[in-house]
Chains A and B, each alone.
Chain A
Amino acid sequence: DQQVKQNSPSLSVQEGRISILNCDYTNSMFDYFLWYKKYPAEGPTFLISISSIKDKNEDGRFTVFLNKSAKHLSLHIVPSQPGDSAVYFCAASGTTSGTYKYIFGTGTRLKVLA
């Protein structure tokens, strides 16, 4: 049972435009969400996160939006740059149990065209 889904395996965007990556989850116990970026032959690197008590978190060009009622989050990158081309994973965790177990989506490959 895939609790975190990224339904778009790939996305192409022109440089300077907005990139929107989507993520859906099914477990209502999830209360913390993260986005990671992964380049080929490297491990994922943390990008931005959001707690379920917020609906938006912004860090420079990156903004994450959380819609708890829809169990949906999205990552906006504005403006997109060629260096943003990578695979983006969303991850979710339910922290009430005290063990920090993270469930990852299958990733969306973003290609920013120069």
Chain B
Amino acid sequence: DTAVSQTPKYLVTQMGNDKSIKCEQNLGHDTMYWYKQDSKKFLKIMFSYNNKELIINETVPNRFSPKSPDKAHLNLHINSLELGDSAVYFCASRGDRASHEQYFGPGTRLTVT
């Protein structure tokens, strides 16, 4: 039973399109994250939600919009895709405030052509 799942696993699309990546966790965690791993292998935090409330919003183009319909889901919508958006996107969740351990999804490899 997958703890943190992401769909799709691979996404190939053209510049200018709009796409969404979905993330679901069945761990009952309150906090979820989106990370981007670019070609240089940096794993950079993009957003974090705690109980559907946005708590971390890094310097990310406003073409990226996270949406948390409930605390088990954190989706990422990207408008007007650009070549530089090509990367692997990871969703993660974390339990209570005393726990630092994050559980990561398998990643979504986005390729913009």
Given the contacts A99-B56, A100-B31, A46 and B102 also touching, CB distance less than 8 Å = yes
Judged by a CB distance under 8 angstroms, whether A63 is at the interface is no
Interface Cβ pair total, 8 Å cutoff: 53
Q: Which residues of chain B come closer than 8 Å to A99, judged between CB atoms?
A: 48, 55-56
Interface size on B, residues (CB 8 A): 24
Instruction: Please state if A41 and B101 are interface contacts (CB–CB under 8 Å).
Output: no
Interface size on A, residues (CB 8 A): 22
Instruction: Please state if A104 and B42 are interface contacts (CB–CB under 8 Å).
Output: yes
Instruction: Please state if B56 and A42 are interface contacts (CB–CB under 8 Å).
Output: no
> Chain A interface mostly helix, strand, loop or mixed?
strand
Nearest chain B CB to A91 CB, angstrom units: 8
Cα-based distance from A36 to B103 in the complex (angstroms): 10
Judged by a CB distance under 8 angstroms, whether A93 is at the interface is yes
Q: Which residues of chain B come closer than 8 Å to A87, judged between CB atoms?
A: 41
Q: Which residues of B contact A (CB under 8 A)?
A: 4, 31, 35, 40-45, 48, 55-56, 90, 92, 94, 97, 100-107
